[in-house]
Every structure is written in C-alpha cells, then in structure tokens.
Amino acid sequence: MAIMALNPLARVPKPHLHFSLSIPHRSSSSSSFSPQSILNPSRRRRAASFMASASLYHKELAAAKKAASLAARLCQTVQKAILVSDVQSKADKSPVTVADYGSQAVVSLVLKMELPSESFSLVAEEDSGDLCNDGGQDTLKRITKLVNDTLSMDGTYNITVSEEDVLAAIDSGKSEGGPSGQHWVLDPIDGTKGFLRGDQYAIALALLDEGKVVLGVLACPNLPLGSIGNPDKDASQNQTGCLFSAKIGCGTDMQLLNGSTPNRIHVTTIENPADASIFESYEAAHSQHDLSSSIAQKLGVRAPPVRIDSQAKYGALARGDGAIYLRFPRPGYREKIWDHAAGCIVVSGGVATDAAGNDLDFSKGRYLDLDTGIVVTNKKLMPSLLNAVQDALKEKIQNAALL
Ligand SMILES: Nc1ncnc2c1ncn2[C@@H]1O[C@H](COP(=O)(O)O)[C@@H](OP(=O)(O)O)[C@H]1O
Ligand SMILES: [Mg+2]
Ligand SMILES: [Mg+2]
Ligand SMILES: [Mg+2]
C-alpha cells in the first residue's frame, strides 16, 4: 500500500480520509458515545463538507493520473526513436504523430477500465479519420503495438487490444462536451511541435462537471524537477518528468512521473511586476510575441521571456517558476478546451482569464469563446497585468491604423 500511494501507475486506491477531531473526554460509562453526537451543528456541517470534498472525484483523479502517466510512457518510447513515417500532417497542416494517437487510445482505454461503472464522455483532439484512409494501415499497426506494449508494461491489465479497438478508443473522443454532465477533456500530446523538436510537451487530461473543470492532470515527461525560469545548480535539474495534479478546492501537487511522494506546490507570491518573469509559446505562430514584449515593457519586467511549448507552462507557473503566462493567437484563431482545461486547474492558486479579465468558460463545447487572448498570473498581479494588456492591445490597433 505504501508503494501504491507513491506511484501514479499503481492500481487506483480506495479513498482514504485523514480526518481527526479533538474529542472531549467522556466517561467510559456512557453507552451512546459517538463523535458526531458531541459536535455542535456548525462543526458537524464543516466536518461533513471536509469529508465530502476529500472524497469527491478521488477515484477519478487517481484514474486520470494513471492514464496520463501510462500515456507519457508511450510518448517517451516514441520520442526516443521517432521514425519519419511516425509523423503526418493533418488537414489544418498541423503535425500529428503515432504518439498523439497512441496516447489518446491509452488514456481512453485506461479511464474506461479504471472507472467501469461511470458513464463515459471524452472530448479529445484526435480522431481516426486519417488512419482509415489508404496508407493508414501500417501506421495503425504501429499504434496498436505501442498501445499493447504500454498496457502490458503496467502489469495490471491482462488485455490485448485489436486495431479496431484502437480506432474505437481514439474515436470515443468525439464528444461535444457542454454545460451538463461529466466530460473528460484530453490533449493526448499538447505541444506536438515541441515533442518533435525534443522539447517540452504534455499529456493534458481534465474532468468537466456541469461545465466546470473539477480536476486536472498534466504529465510533462521532459520538464525538469527544478525551476525552468531560474535554472540553478541544484541536482534536481538532472531529474526530469513531472506529474501535476489538482482537484477543485484542494490545491495542486507535483511528483516525479516515475513515482515519488506528491508535494504541494504554489504559485509565486511576488507582487512587484518588475520581478515577474513571463512565459509564452515557443512557436511565434501560436502567440504574438510583440504583444508580450509590449506588455512586459509596460509592467517594467526585467527578465527576458521564457519560451516553452505546451501546457508545461501552466505546470511551471503552478510551482512558481515564473509569474505570468501570456497567449495571444493571431485574430481568427479559436482556442480549444483541451489546450487549457487541465492547465487552468493545475495553476490553482493563480487566475486564468481572457484579455478582458473574463473567466475561461469550458461549458460551450469543444471551443473556448474568448476576448482576444489568455493571461494567467497570481491574484495580486492580475489587476496591473490586465491594465497593461488593455494598453498594449489599444496601442497595437492604433499603430496598425497609422500604417
Ligand atoms: N495558429 C495558432 N495559434 C494559436 N495556437 C495554435 C495555433 N496553431 C496551433 N495552436 C495550438 O497551440 C498548441 C500548442 O501550444 P503551445 O504553443 O503553447 O505549445 C497546439 O496544441 P497541439 O500541439 O496539441 O496541437 C495547438 O492546439
Ligand atoms: Mg495538434
Ligand atoms: Mg494542444
Ligand atoms: Mg495535441
């Protein structure tokens, strides 16, 4: 049991409630003694709410950690020796690899096996369309082998899946999500371009309940255990592979992907914007870097921006590696919920809004409807950040009108 608690790949444990109350001494002659009977009503309500939040989504979070950790193993196997034939281009010209498909199949299969009694709805990035076209057969064979090898590595599943099972698992991600019921939200590899470069990427999995993100997991196989904003000498830089997990109202934990005790992490507490460091996309096509520079200048930020692929940015922010994440796609780009759902809850002590300061709304289906961009920081810095964002946006429009 001790080992299971440390390893995200262990069988999903039953909820354990560590719940202690100070109970006044009662004479042993009392026959009707019970802790509940001696609590006053308000303490009883608080105790009940504590017990409810501790057990709420407990088994779902454990299943999500296990699914994302196994998917991360598949991705690491592929990244170590990627073949030219492992990479394809989607209709929108973005890359997709056997690892994106394999990761999606593994997460879908593991969630269904770990939570057999729950109804299953998954909103995920990939679909099997291109694998069913002419020429997709060899790729599908390779993905199926990767999925079976990964499931058998775990040692707790005694199954072999067929190519049809893999196609069905991938296509179970076609749900539209929405404001009612529960929906899993998955980006099987967020940052596919980073994955192909050998840089950062993340397996990002979240659960929506009645339109709200209630838990999230980010597996970041290439993220160092030590800070990326401020890499220093300490030995933790040599260890890579982080698993972030968060449950609504319960804070965020981080542990090593290959198993370690989860540690509670916190966003930075800095209040002076000049001390902030800013994270943004590595890919200039994904976010307007000139807008970030203009915002940094207005805030007086001294450090140069840190450019990282994927929702690893949210994970790094959640543990205080940096203070601000800025994302400004070109006009017309529509953000998808799987690119932000897990990240937003993982950065639990911070705030994520659009450029106008509105909360991100994950209840509208597969897309996020936003005003202009996404900004993330701690609660103290948000007001000055939003002012700087508005000024920079106005300035950019005025400058464009002058040209
Ligand atoms: N033109 C664009 N503008 C903004 N985001 C884009 C984009 N094209 C692709 N993306 C999204 O940017 C994500 C990667 O984010 P980042 O830049 O932070 O690494 C991609 O996720 P995938 O890699 O899962 O496709 C994709 O959804
Ligand atoms: Mg993609
Ligand atoms: Mg993505
Ligand atoms: Mg992706």
- Pick from 223, 280, 281, 283 the residue to mutate for probing ligand 1's pocket: most ligand atoms within 8 Å of its CB: 283
CA 158 vs CA 40, 144, 147, 166, 170: distances in Å: 50, 15, 13, 16, 20
- Supply 130's token pair: 């291109």
CA of 95 to the centre of ligand 4 (A): 9
Contact by Cβ (8 Å): 243, 8: yes
CA of 331 to the centre of ligand 2 (A): 19
pLDDT tens-digit series, residues 229-241:
766 656 566 799 9
Report how far residue 216's alpha carbon sits from residue 186's, in angstroms, rounded to the nearest whole number. 10
Q: Which protein residue has the closest C-alpha to ligand 1 atom 27?
A: 339
Q: How would residue 9 be classed by pLDDT, with cut points 50, 70 and 90? A: low
CA of 24 to the centre of ligand 1 (A): 57
Ligand with the closest atom to the CA of 335: 1
Please, is 29 exposed, middle or buried when counting C-beta atoms within 10 Å of its C-beta (0-12, 13-18, 19+)? Answer: exposed
- Pick from 339, 344, 372, 374 the residue to mutate for probing ligand 1's pocket: most ligand atoms within 8 Å of its CB: 339
Q: Give the model's pLDDT for residue 81.
A: 92
Please provide residue 283's backbone torsions phi and psi, each rounded to the nearest 5 degrees: -80, 120
- Please, what are the domains in the chain? 58-265 (3.30.540.10), 273-402 (3.40.190.80)
Tell me the residue type at 266. H
Q: What is the DSSP code (8-state) at residue 264?
A: E
Q: What is the CA radius of gyration of the chain?
A: 23
- Pick from 88, 186, 190 the residue to mutate for probing ligand 1's pocket: most ligand atoms within 8 Å of its CB: 190
Q: Which atom of ligand 1 is nearest to the CA of 195?
A: 23
pLDDT tens-digit series, residues 34-61:
444 445 666 666 556 555 666 899 999 9
CA of 284 to the centre of ligand 3 (A): 15
Q: How would residue 368 be classed by pLDDT, with cut points 50, 70 and 90? A: very high
Q: Which protein residue has the closest C-alpha to ligand 1 atom 23?
A: 191
Contact by Cβ (8 Å): 191, 200: yes
Q: Give the model's pLDDT for residue 78.
A: 97
Report how far residue 344's alpha carbon sits from residue 206's, in angstroms, rounded to the nearest whole number. 9
CA of 286 to the centre of ligand 1 (A): 6
Q: Give the model's pLDDT for residue 355.
A: 96
CA of 400 to the centre of ligand 2 (A): 31
Q: How would residue 403 be classed by pLDDT, with cut points 50, 70 and 90? A: confident
Please, is 165 exposed, middle or buried when counting C-beta atoms within 10 Å of its C-beta (0-12, 13-18, 19+)? Answer: middle
Which residues sit with their C-beta closer than 6 Å to ligand 1?
A: 94, 125, 187, 189-192, 194, 281, 283, 285-286, 309-310, 329, 333, 336, 339
Kindly list the protein residues that place their beta carbon closer than 5 angstroms to ligand 4, a single-atom ion: 125, 187, 189-190
Task: For residue 139, indicate whether it is catalytic.
Answer: no
Distance in Å from the first CA to the final CA of the chain = 67
Q: Give the model's pLDDT for residue 402.
A: 85
- Supply 72's token pair: 């991360």
Query: Of these residues, 86, 100, 253, 339, which one is catalytic?
Result: 100
pLDDT tens-digit series, residues 168-204:
999 999 999 999 999 999 999 999 999 999 999 999 9
CA 234 vs CA 224, 226, 318: distances in Å: 11, 8, 20
Q: Which atom of ligand 1 is nearest to the CA of 191?
A: 23
Q: Which protein residue has the closest C-alpha to ligand 1 atom 11?
A: 286
Q: Which protein residue has the closest C-alpha to ligand 1 atom 13?
A: 191
CA of 338 to the centre of ligand 3 (A): 6
ipTM of the complex: 0.99
Query: Of these residues, 97, 144, 150, 192, which one is catalytic?
Result: 192
Task: For residue 192, indicate whether it is catalytic.
Answer: yes
Q: How would residue 30 be classed by pLDDT, with cut points 50, 70 and 90? A: very low
Strand pairing class (182-190; 202-209): antiparallel
